[in-house]
Structure 1
Amino acid sequence: MLLSLPTTVSGIQQALAEGAVPVGGATLVWATWQRDGFPERAVSLRKLPEANVVGREELGAAVLLHQVDDRVPEVLRRAAGSVGTGAVRRTATVGGNIVGSTLRCLLPAALVLDARARVLATDRPYETDLAELVAKRPLLLGLHWRAPLTSGYRKLPGDAGGPPPFVVAAAVHADGEDGGRLLRVAVRDGYDVISESADCGAGTEAVLDTLRDTPLGALPATAREAVRAQVTETLAGPGLG
């Protein structure tokens, strides 16, 4: 297998046009390749500068999960830190987790940040929302978002060989010029991801009441308690004083 490591978007496009298969850390496809055969050509974003940024309001698709640190909001850092083992986090990439994986451990965190995706089509890069990113699975270059006031994340224990552990992510954003605040909540329940939002103006109990009237209110009792606990913790978090 010939691996190309372009340093420009045009170089990535040329490699794709020549039939190269995009690859990140290859943690999801390696076993399949070993069984079915390796592609003749592959292309990686590993050397593309814009796919390797880590910042307060942006994260590149080629960033390894163990490199997602306190430069990004807490919700995203904690989500990345909860994926697999240390060995997996040293090879798996942000793009592979969100676009290539059925687990999409980072997706709830990206949703509560109201992130936008920069992706690469055959003719040009363009920006899209997370719904299109997940549905169409284009080549992801990176994510960007507006920094939240505060955020949080928790993952419930899971059984080996069982369904994916339940996760809940939450973030509070400034909403408009009048000092309003908006809470975004997203959960992964099995392989399904649900996201909702609520105005924070009336206090924590009012927010919880609002969320109970959404699909989050139909979750199993253990999951509902995790949502309640994370929302309460997030609304009491730093940055909201």
Structure 2
Amino acid sequence: MLLRLPTSVSEARECLAEGAVPIGGATLLWAEWQRDGFPALAMSLRGVPEAGVLGRDALGAAVVLHRIDDRVPDVLRLAAASVGTGAVRRTATVGGNLVGSTLRCLLPAALVLEARASVLGPDGVRETDLSEVTAKRPLLLGLRWREPVASAYRKLSAAPGGRPPLTVSVALHADTAGPRRLRVAVRDGYEVIDGGAPHDGDPDTALHTLRQTALRDLPEAAWDAVAAQVAVVLRAADDV
């Protein structure tokens, strides 16, 4: 297998045109390749500046999970810290988690941040939403979002070898006009469900509105976790 290491978006685009298979840390691909055979040509984005961004409002696809720190909102930092073991987090990348993983541990956090994705295709770089990223699995360059007022994340305990643990991601956003917005995303098993509600100062009203969204069918244990994380975010927002 020949591995290409482009140092620019234009070089990465040329590699794609040559049929290079994108890899991140290869944590998910290695076993598959050992079983089915290695590709003739692969490509890593770790040398492309746009894929290595790490800041308050952006995160590159080639960033390995253990590097995600308090430069990003809490919900994303905590979600990244909950993935696998330390050894996994030192090699797994943002792009691999969002595009290649069935668990997509970072997806709920990205959804509540209302993140937009930059992807690279045959026609160049374009911006798209997370639903296309998960459905069509394009080559992800990175994510960008508007910094929230406050955010929080919780991963509930689960029996080893059973269903993936339930996770709750919450973020509070503010606009120049109108009420603040609460965004909630829950990973229940392998399914990610999200919803939003305006927040005018009454958390009970916001939770009632959230129960009318796609989150409505969550079990009560999940709603208890949602209510607890909403309370965490609103307390944090009061301190801002």
- TM-score, normalisation: structure 2: 0.97
**1:163 aligned onto 2:142:** no
Matches within 5 A, 1:207-222: 207-222=206-221
2:81 aligns with 81
Aligned residues: 240
Contact 2:152 2:171 in 1 (8 A): yes
Give CA-to-partner distance per residue, 1:25-80, whole Å, 9 cap, x none.
00011001111111111000011111001000000000000000000000000000
Q: Which residue identity does 1:35 align to in structure 2? A: R
**1:235 aligned onto 2:239:** no
Task: Kindly state the Cα deviation for residue 239 of structure 1 after the two structures are TM-superposed.
Answer: 5.4
2:29 aligns with 29
Task: Kindly state the Cα deviation for residue 7 of structure 1 after the two structures are TM-superposed.
Answer: 0.2
Q: Which moved more, 1:130-139 or 1:56-65?
A: 130-139
Task: Kindly state the Cα deviation for residue 175 of structure 1 after the two structures are TM-superposed.
Answer: 2.6
Q: Which moved more, 1:65-74 or 1:212-221?
A: 212-221
> Gapped runs of 5+ residues in structure 2?
none
Q: 1:239 to 1:138 in 2, by over 3 A?
A: farther
Contact 2:196 2:213 in 1 (8 A): no
2:19 aligns with 19
Contact 1:149 1:239 in 2 (8 A): no
1:197 aligns with 196
Contact 1:111 1:186 in 2 (8 A): yes
How far apart are the structure 2 equivalents of 1:215 and 1:17?
39
Task: Kindly state the Cα deviation for residue 230 of structure 1 after the two structures are TM-superposed.
Answer: 0.7
Give CA-to-partner distance per residue, 1:10-35, whole Å, 9 cap, x none.
11111111121110000011001111
1:187 aligns with 186
Contact 1:79 1:109 in 2 (8 A): yes
Contact 1:95 1:141 in 2 (8 A): yes
How far apart are the structure 1 equivalents of 2:218 and 2:44?
39
Task: Kindly state the Cα deviation for residue 169 of structure 1 after the two structures are TM-superposed.
Answer: 0.3
Task: Kindly state the Cα deviation for residue 177 of structure 1 after the two structures are TM-superposed.
Answer: 2.8
Contact 1:149 1:240 in 2 (8 A): no
Task: Kindly state the Cα deviation for residue 192 of structure 1 after the two structures are TM-superposed.
Answer: 0.9
> Gapped runs of 5+ residues in structure 1?
none
How far apart are the structure 1 equivalents of 2:126 and 2:62?
17
1:8 aligns with 8
How far apart are the structure 2 equivalents of 1:220 and 1:10?
47
**1:149 aligned onto 2:139:** no
Percent identity of equivalent pairs: 63
1:108 aligns with 108
Q: 1:52 to 1:150 in 2, by over 3 A?
A: same
Contact 1:217 1:224 in 2 (8 A): no
How far apart are the structure 1 equivalents of 2:63 and 2:161?
28
- TM-score, normalisation: structure 1: 0.96
